Amino acid sequence: MDKKIIEGFEHVRYKRPQLSPEEMILRSEQFYQEMDQRRTVREFDSRPVPIEILEKIILTASTAPSGAHKQPWTFCLISDPSIKKKIRDAAEEEEKISYSSRMPDQWKSDLKPLGTNWEKPFLEEAPYLIVVFKQSYGMENGEKIQHYYVNESVGIACGFLIAAIHQAGLTAVTHTPSPMNFLSEILKRPFNEKPYLLIPVGYPKAETYVPAIKRKSLNEIIKRF
Ligand code: IYR
């Protein structure tokens, strides 16, 4: 039986191929090794990327679980150079103030090893910008739709998005200009949507360096019970 009615709602049978424990161990190891190669990259090659890849990456993000399956997200995909420039100018204006007066010294010294500053050339250099908006509530035919666990849902979708970008052979930076309401204005988003993350995507520049950071070991992050 592939379908079943439960309390008046149709359910479909869920099936996944059965893997042996050995195969599962191998696959989990391979996926970890692949994801461990992911690095945040802030320097992009301006080589174009086929848009189908970006569309598939966004579809992958949309497979994330969400509160009551409300899918409270909008992904703005930007390739228009004039919009990228507007976003860069507005982001740099905010970041300039942040780095010079809003961020405490501790924060700036914590960022020193990563080599960030107020300048954001990647906002124009990357072939695509994805701006993820969270929908605090939905709007359908002028009616408000309740959304649930919006931050959790959109955060998980962004995780899927970043994993999909890496798996496709591209790189990204999770950029959080602050404040970022300028994104709502430039992209003319409705009132129920708030900017969540700005993610430039592309190929890394031919010769790119990233900070020599280490990830915490399993023993540092796991507590067994
Ligand atoms: N939003 C600023 C500062 C910044 C903050 C953190 I926490 C980072 O991990 C990286 C940067 C910027 O984008 O430069």
- Model pLDDT for residues 56-94, shown as the tens digit of each residue: 999 999 999 999 999 999 999 999 999 999 999 999 999
C-alpha distances in angstroms, 139 versus 21, 142, 158? 45, 6, 22
Ligand 1 site-directed mutation target among 96, 111, 198, most atoms within 8 Å of CB:
111
CB 42 less than 6 A from any atom of ligand 1: no
DSSP state of 216: P
Q: If you measure from the C-alpha of residue 35 to the centroid of ligand 1, how many angstroms do you get, rounded to a whole number?
A: 22
Q: If you measure from the C-alpha of residue 204 to the centroid of ligand 1, how many angstroms do you get, rounded to a whole number?
A: 19
User: How far apart are the C-alpha atoms of 147 and 85, rounded to whole Å?
Assistant: 33
Q: Could you tell me the pTM of the whole model?
A: 0.96
For residues 173 and 44, the answer to whether their CB atoms sit within 8 Å is no
Tell me what pLDDT residue 172 has: 98
Tell me what pLDDT residue 53 has: 98
User: How far apart are the C-alpha atoms of 51 and 113, rounded to whole Å?
Assistant: 34
Q: If you measure from the C-alpha of residue 110 to the centroid of ligand 1, how many angstroms do you get, rounded to a whole number?
A: 10
Residue type for 17, please? P
For residues 159 and 62, the answer to whether their CB atoms sit within 8 Å is no
Pairing of strands 73-78, 9-12: unpaired
Backbone angles phi, psi at 24, to 5 degrees: -65, -40
For residues 193 and 184, the answer to whether their CB atoms sit within 8 Å is yes
pLDDT digits (tens, 9 = 90+) for 180-196: 999 999 999 999 999 99
CB 178 less than 6 A from any atom of ligand 1: yes
Average pLDDT, the chain: 97
User: How far apart are the C-alpha atoms of 56 and 131, rounded to whole Å?
Assistant: 16
- What are the DSSP E strand ranges found in 90-203? 128-135, 137-140, 143-146, 171-172, 193-202
Q: If you measure from the C-alpha of residue 163 to the centroid of ligand 1, how many angstroms do you get, rounded to a whole number?
A: 20
Pairing of strands 143-146, 137-140: antiparallel
Tell me what pLDDT residue 46 has: 82
Domains of the chain (ranges, CATH numbers) = 38-207 (3.40.109.10)
